[in-house]
Structure 1
Amino acid sequence: MGISCNYTTKHRDAILRELHDSHMRISKMKALARSYFWWPKIDHSIEQLGKNCHICLGNRPETPKTVVSQWPEAKYPFQRVHIDLAGPIFGNKNFLILIDAYSKWPEVFELRKTDTFNIVECLREVLAIFGIPSTLVSDNAPNLTSEMFKNFCTNNGISHLTSPTFHAASNGAAENFVKTFKYSLTKMIQDSTNDLCIPDCKNFCICIAIRLILQLTETQLNLCSTEN
């Protein structure tokens, strides 16, 4: 539990405004608050903050559909990664989303173009940091099934699995994050008091939210695998 102090009403209001700056959901705000501060009925204050935010109310996500099937649990970091594209958002913004199935760690890249070349360049950057995954999962989009993309996977020893368009939920790890990404980004940009631009905020609240869900720190995520 966070530190309990005699916070004045003025201080509490300032803390709550800062807590909701990135428009996280109520459950995530509560988890973050417990790590740093506490006062009587703080949960109620956070609930009222979220329920009275017109930006959050106007951007509630749709009720998720039932997932057809689930992937087997990954046993180590970057054993399997899921990728998907988000966009265009706000006119012409496109992003490549990558999720590690083991740690749920996300990587987000803004794409100048959504062709295979630019996607592969982003993947090279990720692989240079975290290593080569055993399996990569994507949908059947032409830029993810092109000859260039097939050669990239083959040359790096990556097993590329695709989800059929009529069972897109089978790539749920990446698709769910795309929804979270759009949801968070939309709320932050609609907030006139938030001066963060897209390149600055694309990883901001999302990585925090995922660590709160998993109750993990960056160190505990242990992205460096000991597996051979």
Structure 2
Amino acid sequence: MEKSLIQACHDDPMTGAHFSFERTYNKIKYYYWWPRMKATIKQYIRSCLLCKQFNISRHKNVGHLRPITPPEGPFLLIGIDYCGPLKRTPRENQYVLVITDYFTRHITAIALPNCTAETTAQTLFNEYFCKYGVPTVILSDQGSHFRNQLMENIKYLIGYNHIYSTQYHPQTNGMVERFNATFIPQISKLQDTEDNNWDEYLQAVVFAYNTGIHKTTKYSPYELLYGRLPRLP
């Protein structure tokens, strides 16, 4: 019984997606309890072969931080970044546009065949602005897919401020970059390497992330955004 519960909350693409002990424990403890629960969950995750194979260490040396002023509500300050190029899928996807809301930590990720300026602008408009509204500020690096005349025209047409990180302070958009560092190992654990179907698991991994407790806010991005806990499979 205990092993089945841990397996469901850690291994399943939608509810666990092989995320960390903290996220797995927080999902289980809301509904269940048993003696030595933490130890049991830790032991299960330590013995997970996929986690052993794909997890990477992301510890960094202590440095000077330049914190971003927190926004007053969701979808006012967002960070955008590309993950890729990844191995091309049968659906021709090779990149993932990752969009992070700095208020709730909610992630939106869209699989795309390329990362051109046209694709970026069209995807932001159709998949984000038309669903969540226009942000006040967008943070990104200075990649040509973000810093170009088309994106500049859209910025003035729609009405938002676009801030670019510099090569000396790329951590300005660190929230998105941290998710990208997490995303690759999680997808690698779930995809069928022969079919290379990582894009089929993308939304399940994003859902698992958005319904997990965030270390900073102590809430899941889903709960902060919708005001309720999700109904999980």
The TM-score range, normalised by the shorter chain, is 0.7 to 0.9
Cα RMSD, aligned residues only: 2.5
Map 1:1-228 onto structure 2 (within 5 A): 11-21=1-11, 22-58=17-53, 59-65=55-61, 66=63, 68-91=65-88, 93-125=94-126, 126-189=128-191, 197-209=200-212, 214-216=218-220, 218=222, 220-221=224-225
Structure 1 residue 62: Cα displacement: 2.4
- Residues paired across the two proteins, number: 211
- 2: distance between equivalents of 1:17 and 1:218? 22
Structure 1 residue 67: Cα displacement: 5.9
- 1: distance between equivalents of 2:202 and 2:224? 26
Structure 1 contact 82–101 (Cα < 8 Å) conserved: yes
Structure 1, gaps ≥5 residues long = 1-10, 224-228
Q: 1:60 to 1:219 in 2, by over 3 A?
A: closer
Q: 1:54 to 1:219 in 2, by over 3 A?
A: closer
TM-score of the superposed pair, with normalisation by structure 1:
0.83
TM-score of the superposed pair, with normalisation by structure 2:
0.81
Please state which structure has a larger fraction of its residues in strand: 1
What does residue 5 of structure 1 align with?
none
The alignment-based identity, stated in percent, is 20
Structure 1 residue 109: Cα displacement: 0.5
- 2: distance between equivalents of 1:119 and 1:217? 24
- Bigger-Rg structure (1/2): 1
- 2: distance between equivalents of 1:81 and 1:221? 14
Structure 1 contact 140–163 (Cα < 8 Å) conserved: yes
